[in-house]
């Protein structure tokens, strides 16, 4: 009962710190205390749920566990790949959106993500604080949080009324729980008012692929693993049409789910942080220099790879002929702030993958007509140096060619042939190499013919 009152008191404190100012009033002032309070409240809620509802021993924290964690400091954990590389970034997105939904911009909300993650690692668990969790929760949370914040604001549409409005609020609650709960507490769910600047339905383009995927291991090409696969792709804004004014005002997300083939196989998000044009916007061919933040999560039955990166690239749009056919090209380099990769002999304890920083190169091109992509080729190589796990250096390459044959009414037939190759060099073991070719055949549904967005392998 005492614990219940503690939580209730904290809820009242957070709500009390949150003035009844609508998001739709375009955030007249930043509410830093509310943002911090909500991030800490997320930690308190998750911790108490784990302690009281799930009876997890690690959740029973006390001053002694806090003192021990503060004395011993960081270590690396041995959690599953999915937990470390997807669940933690998602969790970090809640912290980040505590800031975003309290009128902080991208840069202002970023410290909230770090604060939320730091307090969770040191005070929310009995385990020693995990450095890889801190990286993934904070940096990954910033990327996923900004995407879900913009998507939630667009779904929400504060000018809608009736059941449409309720449906929108509920859908936005799933995508952006912090924004949805804040709106509910502030009594905004039924209010009709102007939308925030992030509400931008015209900037989105969705593409859905549904089909079959086969993936094979180079050690056993004769037995490819087949499974149904759904891919959802979302482009927001076009770097050649939209000037750079705020981080993630152009971004791209791709998610792949294979029921019976590992569930969520892939999630990639990349958002523009900075861009400068390399020639005049009226020119026939356009060139821009872009810096972007990138989140990678690849977890399929054949291999695992993930990380947080900063990417620089030169992107070009070449107009072909006199019509609306364009070739888009992208050449870039990236730095992996912290990546994760699985390989034989890798990992430590229960963990089957290594952590480390890396660098890489990216090249991609697409052929589009009337803003529908017909052909896409991409190539990406990365080098990753392990700092936790095996004493190893990993070289990896992704390459793929994807084609679309349009049928009618935004529906097309697609084919994608891709491959992932890895070469791992160990300090005390022979070099280990592996290739994983993949074939996908699918039907595509394109919801609109909005700009092509960012090229992303």
Partner 1 sequence: MNTRPLLLLLVFSAPSAWGQQQAPERKQRPHRTGLWFEFGSGSGAVRIGCGGCEDARFASGSSGYLRVGGTVSDNVLLAVETYGFDDKAFGFVEGDSSIVANDATITLSVLWYPWRSGVFLKGGAGLASGDFTVTPDTGAALETHGVGVGMTFGLGYDWPISRKFAITVNGAVYITAIGDIKIANNFVDDVIAEMYQFSVGFTIR
**Binding region for partner 1 (CB under 8 A):** 30, 32, 71-76, 107-108, 110-111, 114, 131, 134-135, 139, 274, 276-279, 287, 289, 310, 314, 335, 337-338, 348, 356-357, 385-388, 391
C-beta of 90 vs 289, nearer to partner 1: 289
333 backbone dihedrals φ, ψ, rounded to 5°: -135, 150
CA 239, CA 276: separation in Å to the nearest integer?
A: 10
Nearer to partner 1, 45 or 312 (CB): 312
CB of 337 to partner 1, least distance (A): 5
Minimum Å distance from CB 106 to partner 1?
Answer: 9
- Pick the closer one to partner 1 by CB: 139 or 153: 139
Least distance in angstroms from the C-beta of 326 to partner 1: 16
Contact 287, 279 (CB under 8 A): yes
Closer by beta carbon to partner 1, 391 or else 413: 391
With tokens 């955030």, the residue in question is 27
**Shorter beta-carbon distance to partner 1: residue 123 or 302:** 123
Q: What is the β-pairing status of strands 411-426 and 286-299?
A: unpaired
The nearest distance, CB 386 to partner 1, in angstroms, is 7
Q: Which residue has the tokens 């911790």?
A: 47
Q: How far is the CB of 428 from partner 1 (least distance, A)?
A: 12
Residue 139 or 416: the one with the smaller Cβ distance to partner 1 is 139
Longest C-alpha distance within the chain, in Å? 73
Which one, 2 or 71, has the nearer CB to partner 1? 71
Nearest to 373 by CA among 285, 268, 446, 439: 446
Residue 97 beta carbon to partner 1: minimum distance, rounded to whole angstroms:
18
* Minimum separation from the CB atom of position 421 to partner 1 (A): 24
Please give the DSSP secondary-structure letter assigned to residue 24: G
Answer for the pair 93, 174: CB distance below 8 angstroms, yes or no: no
Going by the DSSP 8-state scheme, the letter that residue 260 receives in this structure is T
Place of tokens 């005492």: 2
Cα separation, 348 vs 76, in Å, equals: 10
3-state secondary structure 52-80: HHCCCHHHCCCHHHHHHHHHHCCECCCCC
Number of other residues whose CB lies within 10 A of the CB of residue 321: 8
Tell me the closest approach of the beta carbon of residue 300 to partner 1, in angstroms. 26
DSSP 3-state assignment of 418?
strand
411: tokens are 């529906």
E strand spans, 343-430: 353-369, 372-385, 392-408, 411-426
Minimum distance from residue 68 beta carbon to partner 1 (Å): 10
- Residue in the structure block whose two tokens are 């992704």: 398
CA distance 312 to 293: 9
Return the C-alpha torsion angle 175, 84, 361, 320, nearest 10: -20
- Distance in Å, CB of 24 to partner 1, minimum: 24
Give dist(CA 176, CA 94) in Å, integer.
8
Could you tell me if 302 and 225 are in contact, meaning their C-beta atoms sit under 8 angstroms apart? yes
Residue with tokens 């905004």: 188
Q: Which is nearer to partner 1, 369 or 385 (CB)?
A: 385
Q: How far is residue 2's CA from residue 5's CA, in Å, rounded to a whole number?
A: 5
Pick 85 or 155: Cβ nearer partner 1: 85
Which tokens in the block code for residue 10?
A: 């904290």
Of the pair 72, 174, the CB lying nearest partner 1 is at: 72
Q: Give min distance, CB of 348 to partner 1, in A.
A: 8
* Cβ distance to partner 1 smaller for residue 37 or 111: 111
SS3 call for 86: helix
């Amino acid at each position: 009962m005492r614990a219940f009152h503690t939580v209730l008191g904290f809820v009242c404190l957070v709500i009390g710190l949150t003035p009844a100012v609508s998001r739709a009033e375009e955030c007249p002032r930043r509410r830093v205390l509310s943002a911090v309070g909500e991030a800490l409240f997320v930690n308190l809620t998750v911790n108490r749920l784990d302690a009281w509802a799930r009876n997890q021993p690690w959740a029973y924290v006390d001053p002694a566990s806090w003192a021990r964690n503060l004395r011993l400091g960081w270590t690396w954990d041995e959690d599953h790949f999915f937990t470390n590389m997807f669940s933690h970034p998602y969790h970090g997105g809640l912290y980040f959106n505590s800031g975003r939904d309290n009128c902080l911009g991208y840069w202002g909300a970023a410290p909230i993500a770090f604060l939320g993650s730091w307090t969770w690692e040191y005070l929310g668990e009995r385990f020693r604080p995990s450095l890889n969790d801190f990286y993934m929760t904070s940096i990954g949370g910033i990327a996923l949080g900004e995407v879900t914040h913009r998507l939630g604001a667009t779904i929400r549409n504060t000018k809608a009324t009736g059941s449409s409005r309720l449906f929108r609020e509920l859908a936005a609650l799933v995508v952006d729980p912090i924004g949805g709960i804040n709106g509910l507490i502030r009594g905004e769910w039924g209010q009709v008012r102007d939308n925030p600047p992030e509400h931008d339905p015209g900037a989105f383009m969705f593409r859905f692929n549904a089909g079959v995927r086969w993936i094979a291991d180079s050690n056993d090409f004769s037995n490819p693993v087949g499974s149904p696969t759904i891919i959802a792709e979302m482009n927001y804004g076009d770097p050649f049409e939209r000037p750079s004014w705020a981080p993630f005002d152009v971004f791209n997300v791709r998610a792949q789910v294979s029921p019976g083939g590992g569930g969520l196989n892939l999630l990639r998000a990349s958002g523009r942080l900075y861009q400068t044009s390399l020639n005049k916007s009226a020119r026939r061919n356009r060139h821009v220099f872009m810096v972007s933040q990138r989140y990678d999560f690849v977890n399929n039955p054949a291999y695992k790879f993930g990380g947080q990166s900063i990417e620089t690239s030169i992107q070009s749009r070449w107009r072909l002929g006199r019509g609306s056919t364009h070739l888009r090209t992208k050449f870039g380099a990236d730095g992996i702030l912290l990546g994760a990769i699985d390989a034989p002999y890798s990992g430590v304890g229960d963990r089957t993958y290594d952590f480390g920083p890396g660098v890489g190169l990216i090249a991609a091109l697409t052929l589009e007509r009337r803003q529908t992509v017909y052909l896409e080729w991409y190539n990406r190589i990365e080098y990753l140096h392990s700092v936790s796990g095996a004493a190893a250096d990993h070289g990896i390459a992704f390459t793929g060619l994807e084609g679309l044959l349009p049928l009618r009414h935004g529906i097309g037939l697609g084919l994608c042939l891709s491959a992932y190759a890895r070469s791992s060099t160990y300090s005390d073991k022979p070099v280990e190499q592996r290739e994983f070719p993949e074939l996908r055949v699918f039907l595509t549904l394109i919801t609109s013919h909005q700009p092509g967005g960012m090229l992303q392998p």
